[in-house]
A and B are shown apart, each in its own frame.
Chain A
Amino acid sequence: MSALTPAAPRNTPRNTPRNTRHRPTARNTGSRRRGKSRMDPTRNNTAAGVAAWILALLFAAPVLWMILTSFHSEVDAATNPPSLAADITLDAYQEFFGASSGVSPWPPPINSATASICSTVLVLVLAIPAAYALSIRPVKKWTDVMFFFLSTKMMPVVAAILPLFLFAKMAGALDNIWFLVLMYTSMNLPIAVWMMRSFLAEVPVEMLEASQIDGAGLLLTLRKIVAPVAMPGIAATALICFIFSWNELLLARVLTGVMAGTAPVFLTGFVSSQGLFLAKVCAAAVVISLPVLFAGFAAQDKLVQGLSLGAVK
């Protein structure tokens, strides 16, 4: 996040108008950003640090417990009180990958990957030109268009899911991953347009004008001036769209079945499990969450901007 790295002047001073941004202020010249930490360097921060660490561990505990349990044997996983120091074993993972059942665990994650990656590519193909027409060479009433995009995101999926289900049934697209790709594209497109617009708005207009005066063609301008600024934004947008698609359950549950079931649909198979399955469920949860954890941490710096649709930087 820009805000955590003080050396990012572009995003931090939101409340100062553009022309005063580089005026030397107390914030930009001071050696420390926080006035408070300068005045009261130790006491407050130690207490805050301890409190923050306790809360951080508390919040991460379910995730850490999930990971630890996935490395325990089924018997050790289901003890009361919990056996923290039980032997580490890969049994649950072997079980997840079909050691005893012989059932391949790959179709659901592959379906998820297909749906997430293809829809993300499609989203970018549609969103980047749209964002260009909303920021760099804006159409008239571009704000109205922006809010139309946003309003579609606010319509709950349940309001449209029945016609989509009926259409898929009629068209024979039920349990077809490509129909899900289209659904995820529409689900993420508004977010992507908003994000991409806020990233493209950072392209320096002066440089665009200069390149135009120098007679550079559109493609050259895009490659040399727009792309360097927009690339991190495109990457962050892609990662966030990927996460949302990978996580989605309702549409996948209704529109897919045995063939095209995604990873979250596969996980719902554990909802009413009985008996010794805790380590296996945790192993499955870990494996299926890994792509999202990686994507999320990779996009960490732009996560807020994406989740707030570009409203917060």
Chain B
Amino acid sequence: MTSATARVSRTGNSAAKPSKNAKSRERAMAWARRAPLLPALIFLIIVTQLPFVVSLFISFLNWNSLRPDQTGFAGFSNYIEVLTNADLRQAIFTTIVLTVSVVLASLVIGLGLALLLDKKFIGRGLARTLLIAPFLVVPVAAALVWKHALLNPTYGLINGILTWIWSLFGSDTPPQPDLLSQAPLMAVILSLVWQWTPFMMLILLAGLQSRPMDTVEAAQMDGASPWNIFTHLTLPHLRQYLELGGLLGAIYIVQNFDAVFTLTSGGLGTANLPYAVYQTFYFANEYGLASAAGVVVVIGTIIVATFALRTVFSLFKKEAAR
């Protein structure tokens, strides 16, 4: 791709003699190439980078909009507060637990589903469509359905089914767990795993279907067992797809706000960092502290993103080199 376009431009330039005129024309051509890029680039810098720089600045301020007279430079005290305040420390912990468990669970289930969908069976297209459905419900709507229609302890579907199963065996004392108040983080994790498994499944399915089948066939000829083929051929091939799915998923789930907000409103230890930041500036008006917490989220994301970028880059290089 690149070499071919370079060839085009070289043939275009060769006619010009190396003079001052040609040099300025070359520069004009370089700018002509850059021109289509600039609007997007400038727009993005203004709307995303600039606010972050302001956030960084505010994070070093002592600033509560309810007490404007006490505004001043705070040094690192906001950061110390983020790391020592019990609520915010809990939010960091919750964010890690939430992200890791949702990503791992949805990757494992997604892999299982992808392996099943890789086989031919009746109604495969429809089954695949049904499996994608959770990802195509507005997240707030999905969280509301989980909260009210599925997990509600008195009339939710899950407890309703438990009642029904128990009544089949003549029992009228079925277990009626109340996940939302007994294990609220579990409820959030459950709904997010449900929502993100299709995403992992789609990426892994694409990975499975890009497998070079000739090696698999050769291995089958040589009598390799399905398990051996899976561990020695399929998994190594899927590695970068697993990494990509996991890391992209992690980036989205670290930032999750909808499910926490809707299912538990951040109560009972389920507030993750995005929710805590929202609460700190929107309700507590602690602008300095909220900004510091936001910067901590960025640092966490950068750690994940460095790995994500590397994975995306390796896939990207492969594709660009074609």
Query: Is B148 within 8 A of A270, CB to CB?
Result: yes
Nearest Cβ on chain A to B270's Cβ, whole angstroms? 14
The interface size of chain B toward A, counting residues with CB under 8 Å, comes to 131
Task: In the complex, identify which listed stretch (A73-81, A85-93, A94-102, A223-231) lies at the interface while the others stay far away.
Answer: A73-81
Query: Is A55 within 8 A of B241, CB to CB?
Result: no
Query: Is A130 within 8 A of B39, CB to CB?
Result: yes
Contacting residues, chain A, for B115 (C-beta < 8 A): 48
Query: Which of chain A's residues 172-225 have a Cβ closer than 8 Å to chain B?
Result: 182-183, 185-186, 189-190, 193, 198, 201, 205-206, 208-209, 212
Contacting residues, chain B, for A60 (C-beta < 8 A): 130-131, 133-134
From A65, A77, A160, A190, give the contact of B51 (CB < 8 A).
A160
Query: Is A289 within 8 A of B48, CB to CB?
Result: no
Contacting residues, chain B, for A17 (C-beta < 8 A): 322
Known: A37-B119, A154-B251. A161 touches B294 (CB 8 A): yes
Contacting residues, chain B, for A293 (C-beta < 8 A): 133, 136-137
Known: A1-B205, A138-B2, A311-B319. A151 touches B133 (CB 8 A): no
Query: Is A62 within 8 A of B138, CB to CB?
Result: no
Contacting residues, chain A, for B301 (C-beta < 8 A): 154-156
Query: Is A35 within 8 A of B217, CB to CB?
Result: yes
Docked Cα-Cα span, A253 to B278, in Å, equals: 10
Contacting residues, chain B, for A296 (C-beta < 8 A): 132, 135-136
Query: Is A289 within 8 A of B136, CB to CB?
Result: yes
Query: Is B40 within 8 A of A4, CB to CB?
Result: no
Is A31 close to B, CB under 8 A? no
Contacting residues, chain A, for B315 (C-beta < 8 A): 311-312
Known: A1-B205, A311-B315. A35 touches B213 (CB 8 A): yes
Kindly supply a per-residue 1/0 record for chain B positions 174-185, scoring 1 wherever the CB is within 8 Å of any chain A CB and 0 otherwise: 000000000000
Kindly supply a per-residue 1/0 record for chain B positions 274-300, scoring 1 wherever the CB is within 8 Å of any chain A CB and 0 otherwise: 100110011000010011011101100
Query: Is A126 within 8 A of B210, CB to CB?
Result: no
Known: A59-B197, A263-B138. A182 touches B164 (CB 8 A): no
Is B15 close to A, CB under 8 A? no
From B136, B138, B150, give the contact of A264 (CB < 8 A).
B138
Query: Is A268 within 8 A of B262, CB to CB?
Result: yes
18 further A-B contacts with Cβ under 8 Å, apart from A15-B210, A158-B255, are A3-B209, A35-B216, A45-B119, A53-B121, A55-B116, A66-B141, A81-B160, A143-B320, A145-B37, A158-B274, A165-B281, A167-B51, A182-B47, A185-B43, A186-B47, A205-B1, A289-B136, A289-B137
Chain B residues in the interface with A (C-beta under 8 A): 1-2, 4-5, 7-9, 30, 33-37, 39-41, 43-44, 47-52, 54-55, 58, 112-113, 115-125, 127-142, 144-150, 154-157, 159-161, 163-164, 167, 194, 197-199, 202-203, 205-210, 212-214, 216-217, 220, 241, 244-245, 248, 251, 254-255, 257-258, 261-262, 265, 273-274, 277-278, 281-282, 287, 290-291, 293-295, 297-298, 301-302, 304-305, 308-309, 312-313, 315-316, 318-320, 322
Shortest 9 CB-CB distances between A and B: which pairs? Answer: A49-B121, A129-B36, A3-B209, A285-B141, A296-B136, A160-B51, A163-B54, A186-B47, A81-B164
